[in-house]
Amino acid sequence: MIRSPVDNLLPYYRYAQRVQNDLFLLRSRGINLIPQIGYFVTETEQLQLIKLTGTVPAHYKGGTYNIPVLFWLPIDYPSKPPIVLVTPTPNMVIKQQHQHVDQLGVVYHSYLVDWNTTKALVGLYDILVEIFSRDPPVRAVQQMSRNVPQTTNPFPNELLNMKNQLTRKIQEAFRNHISSAPQKIEHLMQQEKQLAATDASLAEEKKRLLGHLDSVYIEQAKLLSMEEEVNRWIQQHQSMEEDKSFQLPALLDPLTNQYLEAVAQEKTFEEILLYLNQALIKGKLDLQSFLKVHADVARQQFLNRALINKI
């Protein structure tokens, strides 16, 4: 059996069986839409697709008029809707401001906008019969006088449709670009202003920080000096504790003197810790130095409290 070009192209469709079923339904109803293959030109490529050419009857004011149409079936039909075009003959023109057909012949309808896989070509055909009967999208061209030679269309319908589609896409892209250009320019200008304000703020902050850099170094040196002084005090205190020959004045008994000394040291530790906390909160002491000194003082305070409890 000789296979038709459409049969040879069907396997490339994602839902080939569904496409075949929809084409069969059209034939079974005797609908004048003939499947063929053609080249559908997009902005980036040329696709070989199945197309349906024929007419849709428009029952208008007691007469029946055949409206020439062209259906393109996308490669993933029915996940995507067909593209429907009205293709007027040389003695026809598309009506201006038609509700469902633009001047390039593209058909617009909610049936296509809300398309889903439950819809089919037969249903789309019935919709076109209904809307074309209500308002035919084409009208006849007025006959020219006999002494004026009529020009023939230099483009076959196929090439004319491709030209119309490309023209429509270019016009739409141009309109979208023109309409969005002011908003894009305004957005870029706002971004430029924000970046300029941010740069100025950063420069001011950098200037302020550099201005205080010397004072920071001075405060750091003071803190280091204080840390050394505290460490010397702790070492001196440790040496006093370890010096067995060190004796308090014998004003009181030795146990009482030892207790009073431990209580005095406890007060000293508390004042040191309070000073360290205030220095940390005010930012005069970095966290690392604070933890180091605090650990040393807390250890000595712990030993001193143990001594008080023992006494």
d(C-alpha 29, C-alpha 291), whole Å: 91
Q: Please calculate the CA angle 277-279-283 and round it to the nearest 5 degrees.
A: 115
Cα–Cα separations (whole angstroms), residue 253 to 240, 248, 250, 258, 306: 19, 10, 7, 9, 20
Q: Residue 148 has what pLDDT?
A: 46
d(C-alpha 4, C-alpha 14), whole Å: 19
d(C-alpha 17, C-alpha 208), whole Å: 75
Tell me the whole-structure pTM to 2 decimals. 0.47
Q: Residue 177 has what pLDDT?
A: 54
Displacement of CA 310 from its chain's centroid (Å):
70
Q: Residue 111 has what pLDDT?
A: 95
Q: Are 241 and 299 in contact (CB under 8 A)?
A: no
Q: Residue 248 has what pLDDT?
A: 46
How is the chain classified by DSSP, letter by letter?
Answer: -PPPHHHHHGGGSTTHHHHHHHHHHHHHTT-SEEEEEEEEE-SS-EEEEEEEEEEEEEEETTEEEEEEEEEEE-TTTTSSPPEEEE---TTEEEPTT-SSB-TT-BB--HHHHT--TT--HHHHHHHHHHHHHHS-SEEEPPPPPTTSPPPPPSS-HHHHHHHHHHHHHHHHHHHHHHHHHHHHHHHHHHHHHHHHHHHHHHHHHHHHHHHTHHHHHHHHHHHHHHHHHHHHHHHHHHHHHH-TT----TTS-HHHHHHHHHHHHHHHHHHHHHHHHHHHHTTSS-HHHHHHHHHHHHHHHHHHHHHHHH-
Q: Are 14 and 134 in contact (CB under 8 A)?
A: no
Bridge partner list, 46: 41
d(C-alpha 182, C-alpha 209), whole Å: 40
Read off the tokens for 234: 């702790």
Amino acid identity at 129: V
| pLDDT tens-digit profile, the chain (311 residues) | 567 889 899 999 999 999 999 999 999 999 999 999 999 987 788 889 999 999 999 999 999 999 999 999 999 999 999 999 999 999 999 999 999 999 999 999 999 999 999 999 999 999 999 999 999 999 988 765 455 455 445 445 666 777 777 777 766 665 665 555 456 556 656 777 788 888 888 888 777 767 766 666 776 677 777 777 777 877 777 766 555 555 545 556 777 878 888 888 888 988 888 888 888 888 887 888 888 888 888 889 888 888 888 87
